Amino acid sequence: MSIPRIAPYPVPTSLPVQSRVNWQPDPARAVLLVHDLQEYFLDFYDRGDAPVAPMLDRVRALHDACDGAGVPVVYTAQPTAQTPRQRGLLQEWWGPGVTAATDRAAIAGSVAPRAHDTVLTKWRYSAFAMTDLHDRMRQWGRDQLLITGVYAHIGCMATALDAFMRDIQPFMVADALADFSAADHAMALDYVTQRCGVVLASQACIDALAAPALPTSLDALRAELARIIGIPAAQVGLDDNPLHLGLDSIRLMSLVERWSAAGAAIGFVDLAERERVSDWWALLEARREAMP
Ligand SMILES: O=C(O)C1=CC=C[C@H](O)[C@H]1O
Ligand SMILES: CC(=O)C(=O)O
């Protein structure tokens, strides 16, 4: 069985109501996933119609928002060369797929990866399967995944469920996804809302990423340091030196960039010369009060 020809359908606008969690995309925690937007998978659509045309526009807008907020962007793409062992059950289920359309394996030009993006080779429905996506997110100190691309009820939903099981908050960006049908698309959004994550519109996601993030409490500062260092928050004590806890200069610079973008006049030396978490909090409080 190959992929069916996909009739146009409108991008979902009425989203399922979330009642279990109040997760919000955080520019300090998020990674944008652009899932399998290869020409091969888009060729089954009428590219000039919904859902693909608006979906690609919204993926581009989200990519721009992530670039502005310092949020890493990760692409997945299946390889054209897959041994039977590598392709596994996909071969029996979907046939040769992109391996028989090697000239269509490229990621769609209108949403092509940019120089600073990460492109992972994709082997199974979930973007975590047989890739180092989780390791990379750990290294970046990030635990939210903003999911866009195709197909919503297959690889995107599988990735959302897998993220949840890895304690990564999944966000399905409803109008930056496309599927086999409106019903499949809606099913994916309903499932994620009920069982593992948050569904939101691309504009709500862009607005959340644009909200500069200064820690609003000492515990929020400890939690942010813990996430970016990759240790439990309980290990970030008020008298601990963040650099001695494992915060390296690259991550320190990313904090300076993020907090400066939020309007706090904080430089690298301001933090490096302060040796306690409590001193960092006092500095953040002082700089917040001095903000216009
Ligand atoms: O051919 C394939 O590998 C696939 C077809 C349709 C959706 C699946 O996610 C993808 O693996
Ligand atoms: C497109 C694809 O590979 C997926 O939905 O997993």
ipTM of the complex: 0.94
Distance 203 CA to ligand 1 centre (A): 28
- Residue where a domain stops, chosen among 209, 240, 260: 209
C-alpha 150 – ligand 1 centre gap (Å): 10
Is residue 18 situated within a structural domain? no
Each residue's pLDDT, cut to its tens digit, for the chain (292 residues) gives: 689 999 999 989 899 998 899 899 998 899 999 999 999 999 999 999 999 999 999 999 999 999 988 899 999 999 999 999 999 999 999 999 999 999 999 999 999 999 999 999 999 999 999 999 999 999 998 999 999 999 999 999 999 999 999 999 999 999 999 999 999 999 999 999 999 999 999 999 999 998 767 888 899 899 889 878 878 889 999 999 999 999 998 889 888 887 887 889 999 999 999 999 999 999 999 998 988 7
Ligand 2: list residues with CB < 6 Å: 36, 41, 125, 150-151, 154-155
DSSP result, the chain: --PPP----PPP-SPPPP-S------TTTEEEEEE--BHHHHTTS-TTSTTHHHHHHHHHHHHHHHHHHT--EEEEE--S---HHHHTHHHHHHTTGGGG-GGG-SBPGGGPPPTT-EEEE--SSSTTTTSSHHHHHHHHT--EEEEEEE-IIIIIHHHHHHHHHTT-EEEEEEEEEE-SSHHHHHHHHHHHHHHT-EEE-HHHHHHHHHS-----SHHHHHHHHHHHHTS-GGG--TT--HHHHT--HHHHHHHHHHHHHTT----HHHHHT--SHHHHHHHHHHHHHH--
**Closest ligand to the CA of 97:** 1
CA of 70 to the centre of ligand 1 (A): 31
Task: Please indicate whether residue 129, judged by its CB atom, sits closer than 6 Å to ligand 1.
Answer: no
Our count of domains for the chain comes to: 2
Do 147 and 202 share a structural domain? yes
Supply the residues annotated as catalytic: 35-36, 122
Structural domain boundaries enclosing 255:
218-290
- CATH number for the domain including 250? 1.10.1200.10
Residues 204 and 177 in one domain: yes
> Is residue 164 within 6 Å of ligand 1 at its C-beta?
no
Residue 154 Cβ contacting ligand 1 at under 6 Å: yes
Q: Which of 209, 244, 260 is the last residue of a domain?
A: 209
